[in-house]
Amino acid sequence: MHDFIITRAVLVDGRQVDIAINDGKITAVSTAIAAVENNQTESPLYPAKKVLDLAGKYYLSAGWIDSHVHCYPASPIYHDEADLVGVASGVTTVVDAGSTGANDIDDFYRLTRAAKTHVYAFLNIAKTGIVTQNELADMAQIDKQSVSQAIARNPGFIIGIKARMSSSVVGKNGIKPLIRAKEIQHENNQLPLMVHIGNNPPDLDEIADLLTQGDIITHCYNGKPNRILTPAGTLRESIQRALKRGVLLDVGHGSASFSFDVAELAIKQGIYPHTISSDIYCRNRINGPVHSLATVMSKFFTIGLSLEQVIGCVTENAAQALRLHDKGVLAQGYDADLTIFELKQQPQVFSDSEGKSVTGEQYLVPLAAVVAGDLVLTDEGKLKNVFSL
């Protein structure tokens, strides 16, 4: 007998499937049986302790992964609760992008154990993390030994390192913090490196030329002068070279790092994001322009991405970039992390970080997250009687 079966779930390609779950893992995925007699769905996967019939009305994907959030509650600047940016929004996995450094990572790990959402961390190369806006202005903040010790203490929780490479963060140090970050990466099993880009110095060309396969550029569609597009609107040659080396582009929307104009122009040229992430924390969640990962994902429908592409950016692509090898795919043996959602077909106004508003014709509504086989409803999902087990 299975622990949990979800029947007649609609995939993004339109197929209907039944999914069986045991001990927090997907144990089977089969073509759904559409016939219903006396409100009982027949499925080759029966019997099960719990059954959820989506009746061919709701989409299901691998659990959404937000590759860039800020959810360390004790952070003085960028803070939030993991479950508010996670399961309450249909997101099963979040990765905090550098809120904490070696000084506070153990406390952050301790706090995350109470969350229903899976929480991981990119460790800030500055030992203080983000307690000020200029954590890399003093090179003494980058203690390689402390970083390595923190990574060794938290295997499986720290999945990468983070360097914020914009002028307000690095001060007069220019490119030097990134050079140090690459040394740290080399000394710690080539963990993924996420690099925040913003105003220069350092110049984006200097940053891009140091990056190697698997490194992640976040805030890739920001509208600042030091952006990935030239004044003529073409992709910088340094970014072209970086992409050919396997460097990845992450959205990292945030309060000041996403421009509809830049994103639309880039996507028209085939410069797609590898991952879509929110850079969410309490203020831009409550007041916007971020609100949720679903909101950020929905914005990409207005600039040319399909449902399949958008979902791929927060599932398989994200799991691959973050090296979360048991997540991101709806297949036997993978973690039973799932997101159930609707695609609403009605006008919706979206805002970017530059103050521009765009009206989209459709948007995503997450209804539930399934984390290790446990169902957690969003506020919208609680209104749906279909989710009574």
Residues 42, 156, single domain; the answer is: no
Mean pLDDT of 341-366: 97
pLDDT interval class at 379 (50, 70, 90):
very high
pLDDT at 42: 57
CA 313 to CA 309: how far, in whole Å? 6
Query: For a pLDDT cut of 90, what percent of the chain falls above it?
Result: 93
Q: Among 297, 322, 347, where does a domain finish?
A: 322
Dig out the tokens for 278 from the structure: 């929110």
Give the sign of the dihedral formed by CA 166, CA 169, CA 172, CA 173: negative
pLDDT at 39: 46
Q: Would you say residue 388 has pLDDT above 90? A: no
Task: Identify the burial level of 185 via C-beta atoms within 10 angstroms of its C-beta, where 0-12 means exposed, 13-18 middle and 19 or more buried.
Answer: buried
Is 186 assigned a ligand-binding role in the annotation? no
Residue 276 lies inside a defined structural domain of this protein: yes
Residues 347, 223, single domain; the answer is: no
Q: Would you say residue 142 has pLDDT above 80? A: yes
CATH of the domain at 277: 3.20.20.140
Residues 316, 364, single domain; the answer is: no
Strand pairing report for 193-197 and 59-62: unpaired
* Of 165, 162, 185, nearest in space to 175 by CA: 165
pLDDT at 43: 64
Residues 22, 68, single domain; the answer is: no
Average pLDDT over the chain, rounded to whole?
95
pLDDT interval class at 385 (50, 70, 90):
confident
Residue 25 lies inside a defined structural domain of this protein: yes
Is 279 assigned a ligand-binding role in the annotation? yes
pLDDT at 36: 40
pLDDT at 35: 38
Query: For a pLDDT cut of 70, what percent of the chain falls above it?
Result: 97
Total domains, the chain: 2
Is 68 assigned a ligand-binding role in the annotation? yes
CATH of the domain at 7: 2.30.40.10
Residues 308, 351, single domain; the answer is: no
pTM value? 0.97
Strand order in the sheet with 193-197: 64-69, 91-97, 118-124, 158-165, 193-197, 216-218, 248-250
Residues 208, 100, single domain; the answer is: yes
Give per-residue burial for 268-288: e unless 16+ CB within 10 Å, then b: eeebbbbbbbbbbbbebbeee
Residues 128, 220, single domain; the answer is: yes
Helices (H), 40-89: 82-85
pLDDT at 33: 60
Residue 300 lies inside a defined structural domain of this protein: yes
Residue 39 lies inside a defined structural domain of this protein: yes
The amino acid present at 319, given as its one-letter code, is A
Residues 40, 166, single domain; the answer is: no
SS3 168: helix
Residue 327 lies inside a defined structural domain of this protein: no
* Of 233, 241, 183, nearest in space to 217 by CA: 241
pLDDT at 387: 77
Residue 389 lies inside a defined structural domain of this protein: no
Which tens digit of pLDDT belongs to each residue from 153-207? 999 999 999 999 999 999 999 999 999 999 999 999 999 999 999 999 999 999 9
Residue 311 lies inside a defined structural domain of this protein: yes
Residues 282, 253, single domain; the answer is: yes
Residues 54, 90, single domain; the answer is: no
Write out the residue range of the structural domain in which residue 26 sits: 2-61+333-384
pLDDT interval class at 37 (50, 70, 90):
very low
CB 58 within 8 A of CB 113: no
pLDDT at 1: 85
Residues 47, 77, single domain; the answer is: no
Strand pairing report for 193-197 and 338-344: unpaired
Is 162 assigned a ligand-binding role in the annotation? yes
pLDDT interval class at 137 (50, 70, 90):
very high
Which tens digit of pLDDT belongs to each residue from 285-299? 999 999 999 999 999
SS3 170: helix
* Of 205, 196, 338, 200, nearest in space to 277 by CA: 196
Mean pLDDT of 89-99: 98
Residues 160, 303, single domain; the answer is: yes
CA 122 to CA 174: how far, in whole Å? 21
Residue 104 CA to chain centroid, in angstroms?
22
The amino acid present at 196, given as its one-letter code, is H
Which tens digit of pLDDT belongs to each residue from 215-270? 999 999 999 999 999 999 999 999 999 999 999 999 999 999 999 999 999 999 99
pLDDT at 44: 66
